[in-house]
């Protein structure tokens, strides 16, 4: 069992500015840990997390794969999240994580096109008024607009462009995001394999992990 990354360096003041790991984060961590052997066998060279927040997910991923076995990029529109991601990595003796402040993957394409072996995204998925989408503050961590899908749908066209031939994408969704519909969009529009591999109820929220790969 791989320990959850140490976040003791982050304070309540930090979590006023960045997303504090919660049930959705832990579901994604559990899925990565369950797939640890597969991820190690994949021998990834480039890993990318979109919307890294505290940096907890990529730090765990680096522990699974090996800090020096791959390059780890993260993105976040929130500058405090980029800072927290780097601090979390260092706190956990991981020195190969490179946070990039950008919206989704704008600053990394076309540079990383076809290069990403492991892609992770715990998106802003909450159903909110459309005008709440697009903040650069902590609201960016949860405001998903109509069906909680505005940011998710904006990201979907980039998945096929980013993934390497052996790449795998882990996407967290909730029931309101219509995960089976998202999977069908990825299959029908982009020729990707997509299946729900883990799900859990957190209070009134039902959360899912969609695992996406290029068709063999």
- Cis check for the bond before 110: say yes or no (omega within 30 of 0): yes
Structure tokens at 118: 């492991």
Closest CA to 21 of 47, 67, 54: 54
Give the residue numbers spanning the domain of 41: 23-214
Count structural domains, the chain: 1
CATH number of the structural domain spanning residue 156: 3.40.50.150
Tell me the pLDDT of the chain (216 aa) as tens digits: 899 999 999 999 999 999 999 999 999 999 999 999 999 999 999 999 999 999 999 999 999 999 999 999 999 999 999 999 999 999 999 999 999 999 999 999 999 999 999 999 999 999 999 999 988 889 999 999 999 999 999 999 999 999 999 999 999 999 999 999 999 999 999 999 999 999 999 999 999 999 999 987
Q: Of all helices (H) and strands (E), which one includes residue 121?
A: strand 116-121
In a domain, 9, yes or no: no
In a domain, 81, yes or no: yes
In a domain, 17, yes or no: no
In a domain, 129, yes or no: yes
In a domain, 45, yes or no: yes
pLDDT at position 137:
87
In a domain, 11, yes or no: no
What pTM was estimated for this model as a whole? 0.97
Is residue 51 within 8 A of residue 103, CB to CB? The reply is: no
Q: Of all helices (H) and strands (E), which one includes residue 49?
A: strand 46-50
How far, in Å, CA of 164 to CA of 16, rounded? 36
């Amino acid at each position: 069992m791989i320990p959850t990354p140490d976040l003791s360096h982050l304070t309540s003041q930090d979590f006023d500015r960045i997303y504090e790991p919660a049930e959705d984060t832990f579901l994604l961590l559990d899925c990565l840990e369950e797939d640890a052997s597969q991820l190690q066998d994949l021998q990834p060279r480039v890993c990318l997390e979109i919307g890294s927040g505290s940096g907890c997910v990529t730090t765990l991923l680096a522990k699974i794969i090996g800090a020096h076995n791959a390059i780890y990029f993260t993105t976040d529109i929130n500058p405090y999240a980029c800072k927290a991601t780097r601090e979390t990595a260092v706190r956990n003796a991981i020195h190969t994580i490179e946070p990039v402040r950008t919206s989704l993957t704008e600053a990394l394409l076309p540079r990383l096109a076809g290069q990403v072996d492991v892609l992770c995204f715990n998106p802003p998925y909450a159903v909110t008024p459309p005008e709440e989408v697009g903040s650069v503050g902590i609201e960016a961590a949860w405001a998903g607009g109509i069906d909680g899908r505005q940011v998710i749908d904006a990201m979907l066209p980039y998945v096929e462009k980013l993934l390497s031939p052996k790449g795998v994408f882990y996407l967290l969704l909730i029931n309101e995001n219509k995960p089976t519909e998202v999977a069908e969009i990825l299959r029908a529009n982009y020729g990707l394999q997509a299946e729900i591999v883990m799900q859990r109820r957190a209070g009134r929220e039902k959360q899912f992990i969609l695992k996406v790969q290029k068709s063999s």
